[in-house]
């Protein structure tokens, strides 16, 4: 079978691949014999009329000779225009396409050129101009064509599969995907052209199917059911006008066909019928001479007892070089008709038991094949006194006998999204989404239908909730990882919506009850009122859940990573009941709260998944003295760097450390005064996640800036920012103690190096230092002190340098060794931090280094053979 789909969309050329789904459970797919795609202008129907190129002439207005505006029939043409021709299309022999916009008179029409096509030779002719329906030509279109081998299993509708979503449709499915391609042979990088496709709008689709040599046919004549595997007489052993040959199968009986061809291989044909029936003509029993095309049949379709005449008559024999051919292809174009495809029986071989079947009825000549005239002719020849007649051979009438039969057919359906019919199509177009699918006809966006899912959002979060019973309020805890977002970006606005059917509906302002996360920047609780319109049955996402969606259109990187999301969340606040004075000196550990003081039978369990936040102990005398002393010194004014730092630390307890960097122009212009305040958020209570590069969110930086501006000169420009973090990475050659689990200790050593370089990410009391530095010898000493390390053979400070793909098509990262043994920062607002992963090689393995890699005083140890200490 050949299936071709043409969609009226935009230009472009991009690879795709296709997966028809074959018979069987799950997602089994078959590979087409061939798959082709084109972009251009396509003719999908036969012409209504073909004119000779000498019949028509084009003309233009006097003011615009280059713009052809009318077409007319030349004198002597038998054709004329009518009102039905308006909006129809003329394809000129040079490929230009004109639309008839109106009539001047019966011989002249106004036209407008709407396109030009590079059509194949069989579509246009140098001496013909074709007239088409307006729906027969697809402009700016994709055409996908695939060919399936007849030996493949049947292509059946999808069946449910627990491993993945399936398309809930009663029809077989062809899935066409954009393919990842490599921009060149020498790279592993792949591209997918979603961005180029996402704005392409779909107007209409025509699906055309062409089947060749289908032999699964149920047959009978007026007398009995026939076996297609053995020779049979289609019109019986004594055919007469009106004798019928009937055939059916699932495909031709359940599809509304465009055309059908009956391929017949005859048996026992004479050389030609003129000779075979010469005696019948000479005796004047049959007055009109019999020729090879004298025998004709008509094709009818019986559809639930109603009869549709497809073609009144057509010769059922053909000839080659005046000799009858034993093979014929009876081609029929099928007019429009109404077809009920609701049922079809498969457990019978009798077409009469089907609700739809075809009949090939013998139509002419009146005497059929002259079986009843054979005795008359024999008698006349035998009794004739004419020597010429007596010398004639009277052949028995030919009884049609079929050796083999097969069917070809074409079927098509057009889905016009701009003008949808009142009743649903028997074909569907689906958009495939990351977690489901949707019928494209249900995805009307501003009266536009897009070829691909159209995502305007930069990022989306989908949350599926079980056992929700709208309308209902829900509280959701978002435990965010502090410092993991890009604090330099403006936090985006979060748009919340819920899934109703296959459509996303925005929450109203009154349904957004509260949000303590500052737009998913901090950990907190969001309370939503889920309206009654939220549903749990849909195809875009798995059914059985009510789905919520949070989207951002820009700056998605400003949102921190999410550690956990939990429903049924509430905020519990500590109430002092004579607790110890230092109770709030450190957070309450996770899982400390496990129930209510007074049990509530409606609550099954209570969980405290994370440590507490906020709160601080009562100010003691030492803290009071320090705060008052600092207040007396800065007098609630920001003048010196010390003033800025103390004001921030006192007013913003979530800030761990502040560094103030001042600068002023040499001309002492007050307008050039600038103060940079670098802040580090408190990450001591972020277990189980330890950020190596903690950053304050942008809203907090702005709050600090506004606060400080109130206590300094209006001429001072205040900039509040996060530190510049400089990751340092080491390349280490190591040998573990004998018997050590090397895989385990490789990971352990990486974690230990990270803890050594960035202790403040792991320990609450560790100190973060601006402008710090560290020598390689300190790192070597630290590693050697690990209980599982035998010795360090190699350590270098490195940086990553990406390199282009080589001849093998592989892109890689080159780790360049930094000559210096000292890691240090270049700016006063910079902090050294550990890279997430260090490069560690084991000594004594196939990846170990030669001894010269470890030479140099930087890799010698004092307490060894390298030096003698005296």
Give the three-state DSSP class for 373: coil
Report pLDDT for 158.
76
DSSP 8-class letter at 508? P
- Other CB atoms within a 10 A radius of the CB of residue 450 amount to 17
Tell me the whole-structure pTM to 2 decimals: 0.72
Both tokens assigned to 767: 């100190």
Block residue for tokens 């050594």: 756
CA distances from 109 to 95, 131, 288, 633, 663 (A): 19, 13, 48, 95, 81
Q: How far lies 211's CA from each of 3, 5, 148, 599, in Å?
A: 9, 15, 10, 72
Q: Closest Cα to residue 166, out of 376, 26, 290?
A: 26
Measuring CA to CA, which residue among 47, 435, 500, 407 is closest to residue 210? Answer: 407
Nearest-angstrom CA–CA distance, 586 and 409: 80
Angle at 233 between CA 232 and CA 237, to 5 degrees: 135
Residue 740 DSSP SS3: coil
Helix (H, G, I), strand (E, B) or coil at 583: helix
- Give residue 863's pLDDT: 37
Q: Determine whether 847 is exposed, middle or buried from the number of CB atoms within 10 Å of its CB (0-12, 13-18, 19+).
A: exposed
Cα separation, 460 vs 447, in Å, equals: 24
User: Residue 809: what pLDDT?
Assistant: 40
Token pair belonging to 293: 């095309």
pLDDT beneath 50: ranges in the chain: 1-27, 63, 163, 665-668, 670, 805-811, 846-847, 850-851, 854-855, 858-870
pLDDT per residue as tens digits for the range 249-265: 878 877 778 889 999 99
- Residue 644 has a CB neighbour count (10 Å cut-off) of 27
The answer to whether 654 and 697 have CB atoms below 8 angstroms apart is no
Please tell me the total number of residues recorded for the chain in this structure.
870
The reported pLDDT for the residue numbered 28 is: 57
Name the helix (H) or strand (E) containing 406: strand 402-416
In whole angstroms, what is the distance from residue 561 CA to residue 481 CA?
A: 5
Instruction: State the pLDDT at residue 841.
Output: 86
Count CB atoms within 10 A of the CB of residue 747. Answer: 11
754 vs 834: CA distance, rounded Å: 5
For residue 471, whether the previous peptide bond is cis, meaning omega lies within 30 degrees of 0, is: yes
DSSP string, 195-212: HHHTT-B--EEEEEEEEE
Q: Is the dihedral of CA 433, 438, 441, 445 positive or negative?
A: negative
Residue 600: partners with Cβ closer than 8 Å, 6 or more residues away:
none
DSSP assignment letter at 29 = B
Please report, in angstroms and rounded to a whole number, the separation of the first and last CA atoms in the chain: 93
Q: How far is CA 374 from CA 63, 296, 367, 397, 650, in A?
A: 77, 20, 11, 7, 122
Structure tokens at 548: 């919520």
pLDDT of res. 706: 93
d(Cα 13, Cα 143) in Å, to the nearest integer? 11
pLDDT for 618: 82
3-state secondary structure (DSSP) of residue 438: strand
Say what the pLDDT of residue 422 is: 65
- Spatial distance between the Cα atoms of 16 and 486, rounded to a whole number of angstroms: 36
DSSP state of 553: S
Strand 356-364 and strand 296-303: the pairing is: antiparallel
Write phi, then psi, for 293 (nearest 5 degrees): -110, 20
Q: Yes or no: say if 180 and 190 are a contact pair by the CB < 8 Å rule.
A: yes
Is the Cα torsion angle 406, 407, 408, 413 positive or negative in sign? negative
Tell me, what's the pLDDT at 201?
A: 87
Query: Of 285, 312, 315, which is closest to residue 299 (Cα–Cα)?
Result: 312
- List the beta strands (DSSP E) in 166-203: 174-178
Which residues are registered as beta bridge partners of 498?
505, 548
């Amino acid at each position: 079978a050949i299936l071709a789909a043409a969609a009226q969309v935009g230009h472009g050329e991009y690879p795709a691949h296709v997966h028809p789904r074959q018979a069987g459970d799950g997602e089994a797919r078959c590979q087409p014999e061939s798959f082709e795609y084109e972009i251009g202008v396509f003719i999908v129907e036969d012409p209504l009329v073909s004119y000779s190129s000498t019949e028509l002439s084009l003309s233009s207005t006097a003011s615009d000779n280059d713009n052809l505006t009318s077409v007319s029939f030349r004198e002597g043409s038998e054709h004329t225009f009518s009102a039905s021709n308006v909006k129809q299309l003329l394809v000129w022999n040079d490929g230009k396409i004109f639309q008839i916009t109106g009539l001047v008179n019966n011989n002249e029409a106004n036209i407008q050129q709407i396109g030009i096509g590079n059509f194949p030779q069989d579509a246009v002719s140098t001496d013909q101009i074709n007239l088409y329906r307006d729906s027969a030509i697809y402009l700016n279109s994709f055409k996908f064509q695939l060919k399936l081998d007849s030996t493949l299993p049947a292509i059946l509708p999808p069946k449910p599969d627990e491993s993945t979503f399936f398309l809930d449709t009663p029809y077989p499915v062809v899935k066409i995907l954009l393919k990842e391609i490599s921009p060149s042979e020498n790279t592993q990088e792949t591209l997918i052209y979603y961005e180029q496709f996402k704005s392409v709008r779909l107007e209409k689709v025509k699906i055309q199917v062409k089947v060749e040599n289908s032999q699964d046919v149920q047959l009978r004549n007026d007398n009995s059911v026939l076996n297609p595997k053995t020779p049979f007489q289609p019109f019986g052993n004594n055919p007469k006008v009106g004798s019928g040959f009937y055939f059916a199968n699932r495909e031709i009986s359940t599809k509304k066909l465009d055309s059908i061809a009956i391929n017949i291989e005859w048996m026992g044909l004479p050389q030609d019928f003129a000779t075979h029936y010469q005696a019948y003509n000479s005796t004047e029993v049959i007055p009109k001479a019999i020729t090879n095309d004298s025998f004709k049949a008509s094709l009818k379709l019986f559809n639930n007892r109603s009869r549709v005449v497809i073609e009144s008559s057509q010769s059922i024999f053909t000839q080659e070089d005046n000799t009858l051919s034993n093979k014929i292809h009876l081609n029929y174009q099928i007019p429009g008709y109404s077809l009920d495809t609701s049922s079809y029986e498969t457990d019978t071989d009798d077409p009469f038991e089907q609700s739809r079947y075809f009949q090939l009825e013998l139509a002419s000549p009146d005497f059929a094949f002259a079986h009843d005239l054979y005795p008359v002719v024999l008698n006349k020849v035998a009794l004739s006194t004419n020597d010429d007649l007596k010398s004639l051979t009277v052949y028995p009438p030919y009884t049609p006998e079929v050796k083999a039969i097969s069917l070809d057919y074409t079927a098509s359906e057009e889905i016009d999204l701009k003008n949808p019919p009142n009743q649903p199509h028997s074909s569907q177009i689906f958009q495939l989404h990351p977690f489901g699918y949707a019928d494209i006809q249900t995805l009307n966006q501003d009266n536009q239908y897009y070829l691909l899912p159209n995502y305007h959002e930069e990022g989306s979060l989908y949350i599926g909730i079980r056992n929700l019973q709208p309308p209902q309020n829900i509280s959701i805890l978002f435990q965010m990882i502090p410092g993991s977002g890009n604090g330099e970006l403006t936090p985006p606005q979060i748009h919340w919506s819920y899934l109703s059917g296959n459509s996303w509906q925005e929450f109203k302002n009154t349904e957004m009850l509260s949000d303590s996360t500052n737009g998913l920047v901090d950990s907190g609780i969001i309370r939503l009122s889920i309206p009654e319109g939220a549903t749990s049955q849909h195809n875009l996402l798995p059914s059985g859940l009510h789905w919520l969606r949070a989207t951002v259109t820009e700056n998605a990187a400003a949102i921190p990573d999410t550690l956990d999301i939990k429903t049924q969340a509430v905020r519990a606040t500590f109430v002092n009941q004579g607790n110890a004075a230092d109770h709030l000196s450190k957070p309450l550990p996770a899982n400390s709260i496990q129930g209510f003081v007074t049990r509530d039978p409606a609550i099954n369990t209570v969980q405290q998944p994370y440590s507490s936040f906020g709160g601080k102990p009562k100010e003691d005398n030492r803290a009071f003295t320090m705060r008052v002393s600092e207040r007396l010194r800065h007098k609630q004014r920001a003048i010196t760097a010390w003033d800025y730092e103390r004001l921030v630390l006192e007013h913003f307890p979530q800030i761990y450390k502040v560094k103030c960097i001042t600068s002023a122009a040499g001309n002492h212009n007050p307008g050039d005064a600038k103060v940079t305040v670098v802040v580090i958020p408190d990450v001591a209570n972020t277990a189980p996640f330890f950020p190596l590069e903690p950053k304050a969110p942008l809203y907090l930086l702005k709050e600090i800036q506004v606060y400080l501006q109130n206590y300094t000169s209006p001429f001072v420009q205040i900039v509040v920012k996060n530190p510049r973090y400089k990751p340092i990475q080491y390349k280490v050659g190591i040998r573990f103690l004998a018997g050590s689990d090397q895989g385990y200790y490789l990971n352990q050593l990486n974690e230990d190096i990270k803890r050594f370089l960035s202790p403040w990410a792991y320990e609450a009391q560790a100190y973060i230092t601006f402008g710090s530095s560290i020598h390689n010898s300190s790192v070597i000493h630290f590693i050697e002190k690990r209980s599982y390390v035998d010795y360090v053979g190699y350590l270098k400070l490195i940086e990553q340098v990406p390199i282009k793909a080589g001849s093998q098509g592989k892109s890689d990262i080159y780790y360049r060794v930094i000559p210096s043994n000292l890691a240090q920062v270049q700016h006063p607002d910079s902090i050294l931090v550990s890279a997430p992963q260090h490069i560690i090689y084991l000594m004594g393995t196939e990846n170990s280094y030669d001894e010269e890699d470890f030479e140099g005083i930087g890799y010698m140890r004092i307490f060894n053979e390298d030096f003698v200490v005296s």
